[in-house]
Structure 1
Amino acid sequence: MISISHVLCLFISLYPVLAAVVENDTGSGYKSDDSILLNSGSSEDAVDADGRRWAGDRNDKYRLFSGNSAPARAVFQDPSLPSQVPYMSGRIFTSESTYKLSVSGKSRHYVRLHFYPASYNGLDPADAFFDVSAAGGKLTLLRNFSACATAKALTQAYIVREFYLPPSPDGILQLTFTPSRGNKSSYAFVNGIEVFPAPDISAGSTPSLVGFSDQTVDVGSSSAMQTMYRLNVGGQYVPPVNDSAGLDRTWYDDSPYIFGAAFGVTYSADGNVTVSYPDSTSKYAAPLDVYTTARSMGPDPRVNMNTNLTWVFQVDGGFMYVVRFHFCELQMSKINQRVFTIYVNNQTAEAAADVIGWASSPGVPVHRDYAAFVADKAGVDEELWVALHPSAASKPEYYDAVLNGLEIFKLNDTAGNLAGPNPSPSAMLAASEEEQAEAPTPQFGSTGSGRTNVIGGAAGGTAAVGLVFAICIAVYNRKKRVEGSSSGSGGSGWLPIYERGNSRSTISGKSSIGASSNLSSIAASLCRHFSIAEIKQATKNFDESLVIGVGGFGKVYRGGVDGGATKVAIKRSNPSSEQGVHEFQTEIEMLSKLRHRHLVSLIGYCEENGEMILVYDYMAYGTLREHLYKSNKPSLAWKQRLEICIGAARGLHYLHTGSKYPIIHRDVKTTNILLDDKWVAKVSDFGLSKTGPSNMDQTHVSTVVKGSFGYLDPEYFRRQQLTEKSDVYSFGVVLFEVICARPALNPSLPKEQVSLADWALLCRRKGTLEDIVDPALKGKVNPECLDKFAATAEKCLSDHGVDRPSMGDVLWNLESALQLQETADQGGRPRANPENEGDHRGPDIADATAIIDNTDDSHGTGESDGGAVFSQLVHPKGR
């Protein structure tokens, strides 16, 4: 039986932490000369990686007016830090100390506090517990706050807290840092402070209190707020530099918070709709990137009427919350076409929301605010639920609901307090850290937290829906109080519970940050090291026009090295990356030693100036998935699909048998099968790969579960025992994707059809598989070939690994299927395939499932035809 903590950890690691970063000032937004960027502990002004100038706090203008403090430098720069400024310098406070900053007394201000819990002046980061207050102590922002505990629990290297403060009538903004009095060794610190004037986000809005239609909540000029969540619903991560209002806000993907299997569908504005603000002030509500994307329930009214589109958020009890919904109708044009009910905490906030009715026309952004009080219940983790459901009472033309963006703000209580408790790590975090102990373990300042890139997945239909349901239940019951802390900092924070990449040192020893080398000398000698200057030249200084995709690790650029003679794909890490140093290192270690026609080839890497960049041969035709569905590319012919599957099977068979110990890929899926300019399939993304058992007495490797939804081996998930047969199961899902041209999981379908694996197996047993075959293939597949192909996929999806074939068996049967198709096409003996020479010939799966002892797979092992990997290089979404 899988414990809730296991499931929780699986969910948390699906979505590694994305941290808020400081970005370029656009110059066209709300900010003015009143803005302050303070690099605490620095005596001189400094420029961050985005070109913004931060003032040193020993400048006369930003002098501390009281308290004992000292400047300090961090002893280690975590690779995931977006910039040395402001994080590598800090100010340490050993007694109550106050910054007094000159600001406009007429406007509200955003205040962002940056914390990097490293070792400063020999102090232990775990000893830093402190309070932060404003307005001369009238507002408590953080209490008994531990940046170290928070970073560890959220698997982040650094922490950002954003507050929205009322005007300071005297023109002086006071921020006071006070070490906690309960511990003699406690101290306070801060690395960076951002202060800039902000528009009145509550202007023209009086949020109604849900559940009390006749009551409203006052969010007037005297109220303070903390930003808890800021989501671009249905869209991608929006960095501060893309905030069209110039407010440097960060907007995150909403998918980690969706409850259950009902993910709905996402879409963006097309050429028929132009999004434009109705007036000059409305642009401050949210950037255009938020309003040009949306998530709706989907096209099936039967499904929509039987479910809700629901998000769940962990919050602090005992506070009032303002929930802001952002809408912009991109599809409908008339009133009563799409009307829906909005629920907040299971109570009706809006009975009949009609975006066109509010905005009067398509493409016009609007927002609505609602307030809800979340009680503080002892021993219970507090949650805030948001749900949408079609309004049947309104009898709209379409039974659907839609949302573009969502913000959640915590209001101060009657005592002026915004502070909540520190979070604590999940129970599975320690187990995950033990798994990563193969590499040297630095001090906390260099680790931040352990890497747990655990990816849970539902392997089958009903099981898939049930698992997603269980995961979502678990994740929102994760937060526990730090033992001994009666109060703290607002544990949930405004960053999503993504997992941050492992914060170990970088790997080559050539990094400008001076990290020790974790990369083997063999890998380093087989892999080219690029300078950052070469990378910038190859990508025209990371020209956005050269971006060919965005994955979990970052953006992928098309480029040329060696004077442009060699086309390459260049994968660049970014601060919002969900992938970490461990995967970066694993990718290099694996690909520098593996050479095969059907495995991607790594050309080299770069890690100067804190960058993590991988360089691969350019894959002209992208991923297999984009040639199957959800794209406008021509459909692949059946024989072409067979040859691609055979190529991928060869690559996986080589991984399992071509070296001293088997290598288990652990993330086989259609986005990790890339196609070169000759349509040769190459297996990619070795960031999760694991070396198999090292002796004959072992049958598996015990490890924390990693993989992808819809592809995960159910036996591996249940027992946490990894074998090569886990790859075989995932490849079976790929085979059905190829024949059916639909995703491995599609939550918008009826329950029994959600999982492709379960649905295809059910149709196979009922003899109706042809009914779900890609319509583009109807009448073009030889029945005997289809039966052989389907039997192979079916056997791969056996519940127990011992019942599944080896990849050698799979390869043999796929080649047999190809021969059957060629025989039918040519009316005679099919042509010989020179690549088949030397391949293992296993038994027919229909007759036997013997495990292969012959590990010879000599074809192509010396070739270096390459690809582009480490997540999906041309697919728009990462793992």
Structure 2
Amino acid sequence: MYIKTQKLFYLVFLSLVSNAIHGTSLDSVDSLILGCGTESEAKDADGRKWEPDAKFITGGNSASVRAQFQDPSLLSETPYMTARIFTSKATYKLSVKPDQRYFLRLHFYPAVYGSNNAEEAFFNVMANDLTLMKNFSASLTCKALTQSYIIREYSLVPPTSDSLIVTFEPVVGFAFVNGIELIPMAADMFDTVTMVGFSDQAIDAKSSNMQTMYRLNVGGQFISPNNDSGLTRTWYDDLPYMFGAQSGVTNQANANSKIDYQNVPKYVAPVDVYSTARSMGNSKAINQNYNLTWVFQQIDPNYMYLVRLHFCDFYNTKPNQIVFNIYINNQTAQREADVIAWSGGKGVPTYKDYVVYVVDGKGDEELWLAMNPAKETQPEFYDALLNGIEIFKLDMKKSLAGPNPQPSDMFIKNEQQQKSFQTETTSKAHVIGGAAGGAAAVGIMAALCIAVYNRKKKEPGTDSQTSSWLPLYGNSHTSGTRSTISGKSNASTHLSSAAQGRCRRFSFAEMKHATKNFDESNVIGVGGFGKVYKGIVDGGMKVAIKRSNPSSEQGVNEFQTEIEMLSELRHKHLVSLIGFCEEDREMCLVYDYMARGTLREHLYKSNKPHLTWKRRLEICIGAAKGLHYLHTGAKWTIIHRDVKTTNILLDEQWDAKVSDFGLSKTGPDMSNGHVSTVVKGSFGYLDPEYFKRQQLTEKSDVYSFGVVLFEVLCARPALNPSLPKEQVSLADWALHCQKKGVLEDIIDPYLKGKINPESMKKFADTAEKCLSEHGMDRPTLNDILWNLEFALQLQDNMEGSSHSSRRSESNHDESGSRNQNAASHYSNQSHGSASEVHGDTEEMNTEEIFSQIVNPKGR
């Protein structure tokens, strides 16, 4: 008994010593999270609490204001829908500990706040005597990054007093901020680092203030603040920053593998970072002839940058199995890097810091990171690996401020087109936006909607219909009966009686029961309408329940359109609605649960297996059939208006189903060939002719589908702001490469050598025609289907299989991995679909239409 007690005491003692050494007891120092402009405590989408900021403000003139609208890319109202506006110099006084290093995060959402337009706001921000921002414009920065909001994170050295004074000083117009976080971090997070290219110069990073430029989970998925070692950092995936066609392969630790933190404190990076990695692959011949390369833009010149690389080899067990060289900005940062030799064993994390100075060049400054095998050591495997990347800008002369970045030429061109639509309006309600990644110009669409809405309010005799981007509760309920006892709505206030009769109506109590009271563990997606939950109804039937955000009060038009549209449609390649719920301020849509999620998940930004070329063709054919039915098979022509890879869902049998009809347009009379309507859609997929003329046709869907085809071929987003300007838009870049005859250089590396060249040519030619500048030059969905079926026949011939046997292909695809980027965090579609319900229309037999293709010598 005495021996056991001794052992227990010894283990407890070791644990306490370890915590003291590694500094993991950061919870002893309270974090401060302020929702600027809020009057009461509020929670964000991750469940974190934001407290009001008023009591921390000293001096100056300030006001609490609310944004006029919520951009769909904002996953939470908190902290972005309220702001603190400063019209004169003012400060926040925040309590700190003198021996504690801190993360300071500032959140900005450049919108219209009352009479204050963020376009007119230029201001300085100081933290004690450190200049964080100078003449800063959140509006210009968001434009350049094609994001709707930005977060600036700084790592501050321990202060000399017990207060951190954060100062906001207007330069032009006003200053504003939406959220402030002050997060304690270990004082020994950084140390002395040797400068790359100057072995005799050491930089004291421990006493340097820093700005976080990039933080990437290499080879892995987006990591939210709640899953980050107590420091609430956000880790994004690295794929958008990969350079060249060779992006290597992603690897994940075995489920039974253990990440064994030994000499590395756990706060340095979470387990999820060290559990995934990117390597070069298994081919020695290929690996010797290319570098695994990342490129980072928006780098301010004349600053030093600390590059922290995270490593953990969870496959190899001894030194000299994988040895590689590391280069930063074409300088050798590390020769003969050997992770096992550094860490001491399999599954043991380690990291290395390097400092590089970026000089002022003639163009956009960049930071390059490259790796290749160290052949001179004759390792067992010619490979390289990396698990995580962090890049920090070090302060120079007590300043971290850089110039406002410039928006791309493409963005400026689109903004000029937008302004041309607003020449008749005197409204100043112009909101800058752009969702991250593929939804970059949803904010532009919102600005157009607001302008049209305000113009209609001021013009006598115009329809008073409100844009669906704006809140409708309180002024749109014109009918319906309510129970005076329960307060529940007994009849929908938005839906026709025919639509209500065609699909099932659920009570809100049933929705809560199906999702276990909307438990966060059941969330399978987040979109502009709200969160999507996996649920169980009727004692065992799996469903996807899309719930509107009750606090934002948005989406009534989309809710109504989705039900009115889907309740009438029946087709194998369209989602069909199970039912809906509308009680008081709650709106839910109920679909069948789609086991394989969205098409985009299987192309990039996830760890899903690679899709074969034949499977991709089949999915495109299924989606085309669904769109073809919308255009020709329903009672009236239906234009989807938001065709993209997140709106193409896959069931257990890999059948594609077109989804999300919230923006769809229909009408009994298309004799004019178009419908005049406010521009809506997703930037990157948006028909330029529709954007310019505001005249919607079925060829607008064809343009969007052309982008989807190139997305399927190239396995990259429709928009990637991190790429060189000419490559940001997939549509523009793919057309350029197609015309130059080098399209094969940008296709998914996994597909190279596996596609019949004739099949690829037919597919690419079809996609190119879909992206014709003028709608009349684009093919119909009927023509597209013929061409895709023909491309499939050509591929079948190469693989020695007949057209009639292609449906029996195994559901098991070749293995591989993809990594995930947040912002997915920026998708507008849920991962849900629905089982069929009865309607007024019948499914067309499209199989018979296209069965005439019996040999590859057809069209």
Q: Distance in 2 between the 1:839 and 1:42 partners?
A: 60
Q: Distance in 2 between the 1:291 and 1:500 partners?
A: 36
Structure 1 residues 95 and 572: CA distance shift in structure 2, 3 A: same
Unaligned runs of 5+ in 1: 1-26, 456-496, 575-579, 709-719, 738-744, 766-789, 826-833, 851-879
What is the deviation of 1:56?
2.9
Query: 1:128 — aligned with what?
Result: 121
Q: Give 2:53's match in structure 1, choosing from 43, 57, 60.
A: 57
Q: Is the 8 A contact 2:432 2:444 kept in 1?
A: no
Structure 1 residues 807 and 583: CA distance shift in structure 2, 3 A: farther
Residue type of the alignment partner of 1:215: Q
Q: Is the 8 A contact 1:30 1:198 kept in 2?
A: yes
Q: Give 2:134's match in structure 1, choosing from 122, 137, 143.
A: 143
For the pair 1:619 / 2:604, whether they are aligned, the reply is no
Q: Report the secondary structure of 2:313's partner residue.
A: coil
What is the deviation of 1:250?
0.8
For the pair 1:230 / 2:215, whether they are aligned, the reply is yes
Deviations 1:764-823 (A, max 9, x none): 69xxxxxxxxxxxxxxxxxxxxxxxx9998996898977997256469989999998489
Deviations 1:339-359 (A, max 9, x none): 111111111100111111110
Structure 1 residues 70 and 511: CA distance shift in structure 2, 3 A: closer
Q: Give 2:535's match in structure 1, choosing from 552, 559, 571.
A: 559
Query: 2:323 — aligned with what?
Result: 339
Structure 1 residues 174 and 727: CA distance shift in structure 2, 3 A: closer
What is the deviation of 1:389?
1.2
In the superposition, the TM-score normalised over structure 2's length comes to: 0.67
Q: Report the secondary structure of 2:409's partner residue.
A: coil
Q: Report the secondary structure of 1:215's partner residue.
A: strand
Q: Distance in 2 between the 1:553 and 1:296 partners?
A: 38
Q: Report the secondary structure of 1:654's partner residue.
A: helix
Q: Report the secondary structure of 1:398's partner residue.
A: coil
Q: Distance in 2 between the 1:429 and 1:242 partners?
A: 34
Q: Distance in 1 between the 2:857 and 2:62 partners?
A: 74
Q: Give 1:37's match in structure 2, choosing from 14, 28, 33.
A: 33
Query: 1:158 — aligned with what?
Result: 149
Deviations 1:713-771 (A, max 9, x none): xxxxxxx986859859977998999xxxxxxx9xxxx9799568885665669xxxxxx
Query: 1:319 — aligned with what?
Result: 303
Structure 1 residues 354 and 628: CA distance shift in structure 2, 3 A: closer
Q: Is the 8 A contact 1:265 1:296 kept in 2?
A: yes
Q: Is the 8 A contact 1:507 1:515 kept in 2?
A: no
Q: Is the 8 A contact 2:142 2:434 kept in 1?
A: no
Q: Is the 8 A contact 1:113 1:161 kept in 2?
A: yes
Q: Give 1:538's match in structure 2, choosing from 502, 514, 517.
A: 514
For the pair 1:195 / 2:182, whether they are aligned, the reply is yes
Q: Give 2:84's match in structure 1, choosing from 85, 88, 91.
A: 91
Q: Distance in 1 between the 2:803 and 2:316 partners?
A: 50
Structure 1 residues 695 and 407: CA distance shift in structure 2, 3 A: farther
Structure 1 residues 333 and 529: CA distance shift in structure 2, 3 A: farther
Structure 1 residues 509 and 724: CA distance shift in structure 2, 3 A: closer
Query: 1:385 — aligned with what?
Result: 368
Structure 1 residues 189 and 847: CA distance shift in structure 2, 3 A: closer
What is the deviation of 1:337?
0.7
For the pair 1:840 / 2:844, whether they are aligned, the reply is no
Query: 1:328 — aligned with what?
Result: 312
Worse-superposed segment, 800-809 or 627-636: 627-636
Q: Report the secondary structure of 2:84's partner residue.
A: strand
Residue type of the alignment partner of 1:320: M
Deviations 1:266-316 (A, max 9, x none): 12110352102115x611111111111111111112222211111111211
Q: Distance in 1 between the 2:499 and 2:193 partners?
A: 59
Q: Is the 8 A contact 2:642 2:701 kept in 1?
A: no
Q: Distance in 2 between the 1:733 and 1:127 partners?
A: 37
Q: Distance in 2 between the 1:394 and 1:753 partners?
A: 34
Structure 1 residues 649 and 571: CA distance shift in structure 2, 3 A: same
For the pair 1:173 / 2:164, whether they are aligned, the reply is yes
Query: 2:225 — aligned with what?
Result: 240
Q: Distance in 2 between the 1:689 and 1:538 partners?
A: 28
Q: Distance in 1 between the 2:438 and 2:557 partners?
A: 13
Q: Is the 8 A contact 2:495 2:560 kept in 1?
A: no
Q: Distance in 2 between the 1:142 and 1:608 partners?
A: 47
Residue type of the alignment partner of 1:153: A
Deviations 1:528-587 (A, max 9, x none): 8988876544222454664668999998643124x556531245799xxxxx99999997
Residue type of the alignment partner of 1:193: I
Q: Distance in 1 between the 2:233 and 2:763 partners?
A: 47
Q: Distance in 1 between the 2:622 and 2:117 partners?
A: 53
Residue type of the alignment partner of 2:125: V
Query: 1:251 — aligned with what?
Result: 235
Structure 1 residues 118 and 552: CA distance shift in structure 2, 3 A: closer
Q: Is the 8 A contact 1:436 1:451 kept in 2?
A: no
Query: 1:806 — aligned with what?
Result: 783
Q: Distance in 2 between the 1:303 and 1:755 partners?
A: 13
Q: Distance in 2 between the 1:809 and 1:261 partners?
A: 30
Q: Distance in 2 between the 1:729 and 1:33 partners?
A: 50
Query: 1:675 — aligned with what?
Result: 651
Residue type of the alignment partner of 1:199: A
Q: Is the 8 A contact 1:79 1:611 kept in 2?
A: no
Q: Give 1:427's match in structure 2, choosing from 409, 420, 445.
A: 409
Q: Is the 8 A contact 1:809 1:842 kept in 2?
A: no
Percent sequence identity over aligned pairs: 49
What is the deviation of 1:147?
1.9
Structure 1 residues 755 and 658: CA distance shift in structure 2, 3 A: farther
What is the deviation of 1:191?
2.7
| Aligned positions of 1:402-551 closer than 5 A | 402-414=385-397, 416-429=398-411, 432=414, 447-450=431-434, 535-543=511-519, 546=522
Query: 1:350 — aligned with what?
Result: 334
| Aligned positions of 1:784-795 closer than 5 A | none
What is the deviation of 1:319?
0.8
Worse-superposed segment, 613-622 or 225-234: 613-622
Q: Is the 8 A contact 1:226 1:418 kept in 2?
A: yes
Q: Distance in 1 between the 2:441 and 2:325 partners?
A: 29
Q: Is the 8 A contact 2:327 2:333 kept in 1?
A: yes
What is the deviation of 1:616?
1.9
Structure 1 residues 438 and 40: CA distance shift in structure 2, 3 A: same
Q: Is the 8 A contact 1:797 1:804 kept in 2?
A: no
Q: Give 2:629's match in structure 1, choosing from 644, 650, 654.
A: 654
Q: Is the 8 A contact 2:446 2:469 kept in 1?
A: no
Worse-superposed segment, 403-412 or 593-602: 593-602
Q: Report the secondary structure of 2:198's partner residue.
A: coil
Q: Is the 8 A contact 2:640 2:661 kept in 1?
A: no
Residue type of the alignment partner of 1:187: F
Q: Is the 8 A contact 1:79 1:610 kept in 2?
A: no
Residue type of the alignment partner of 1:230: R
Unaligned runs of 5+ in 2: 1-22, 451-465, 478-492, 550-554, 687-697, 716-733, 735-743, 771-777, 809-842
What is the deviation of 1:151?
2.7
Q: Distance in 1 between the 2:94 and 2:102 partners?
A: 12
Query: 1:400 — aligned with what?
Result: 383
**RMSD across aligned positions (CA):** 5.7
| Aligned positions of 1:728-747 closer than 5 A | none
Residue type of the alignment partner of 1:674: L
Q: Report the secondary structure of 1:806's partner residue.
A: helix
* Corresponding pairs, count: 703
Structure 1 residues 529 and 336: CA distance shift in structure 2, 3 A: farther
Q: Is the 8 A contact 1:736 1:760 kept in 2?
A: no
